Amino acid sequence: MATEKAILAGGCFWGMQDLIRRRPGVVSTRVGYTGGEVANATYRNHRGHAEAIEISFDPALTSYRDLLEFFFQIHDPTTLNRQGNDIGDSYRSAIFYETDDQKQVAEDTIADVEASGLWPGKVVTEVTAAGPFWEAEPEHQDYLERIPDGYTCHFPRPDWKLPRRSR
């Protein structure tokens, strides 16, 4: 099976991973730090990086666009450097594209989110070329699977769904 990779940041990586790992077509996930300059980033030293998730998915079962639409449903892309009550650029909204195709899909999806008028404001999600991804420590991987009552600020908003396009 040929898989593809997506790297997204939308706030605390615990909640992001817990919802995204359940999606059909998602083969595996891992959380980490990316988008900054610090090498060998860790939880206590990742200044400039965003908390992010790397998703391996089967393109025969889901698409990059589908993943982005879910991404925009479970986090608020309109709050700059903030998600829920968590504040700081660690919690920024960002899409780290791997290919020019992914960049185009990201920009198109953001344009559709903006045009829909369903979200509460202007999208502040960064669209940036993927760089080094520093895997987070084991205690941060699958955190909510191990600690089901643990903290999350992510949840799917019923109204934040893009309408299907007519072909």
Partner 1 sequence: MPDLTELWNAAVDLGVDGDVPPGTPVGTTKLSYALGPEDFGLQG
Annotated catalytic residues are 12
DSSP 46-59: -TTPEEEEEEEE-T
Query: Under the criterion CB under 8 A, does residue 146 sit at the interface with partner 1?
Result: no
Binding status of residue 89 toward partner 1 by CB under 8 A: yes
Q: Is the dihedral of CA 80, 131, 38, 68 positive or negative?
A: positive
Dihedral sign computed on CA atoms, order 140, 137, 102, 121: positive
Q: Does 44 bind partner 1 (CB under 8 A)?
A: yes
Q: Which of 79, 102, 109, 125 binds partner 1 (CB under 8 A)?
A: 79
Among 61, 87, 111, 129, contact with partner 1 (rule: CB under 8 A): 87
Distance (Å, rounded) from C-alpha 113 to C-alpha 129?
A: 21
What is the separation of C-alpha 152 from the centre of its chain, rounded to a whole number of angstroms? Answer: 14
Q: Which stretch binds partner 1 (CB under 8 A): 21-29, 63-71, 102-110, 148-156?
A: 148-156
**Is residue 33 near partner 1 by the rule CB under 8 A?**
no
**Following CA atoms 18, 85, 98, 105 in sequence, which dihedral angle do they give, to the nearest 10 degrees?**
100
The residues that bridge with 53 in the sheet, in sequence order, are: 8, 31
What string marks each residue from 105 to 144 as x (binds partner 1 by CB under 8 A) or -?
----------------------------------------
Residues of the shown chain interacting with partner 1 in the complex, contacts defined by CB under 8 A: 12, 14, 43-44, 46-47, 76, 79, 84-91, 150-155
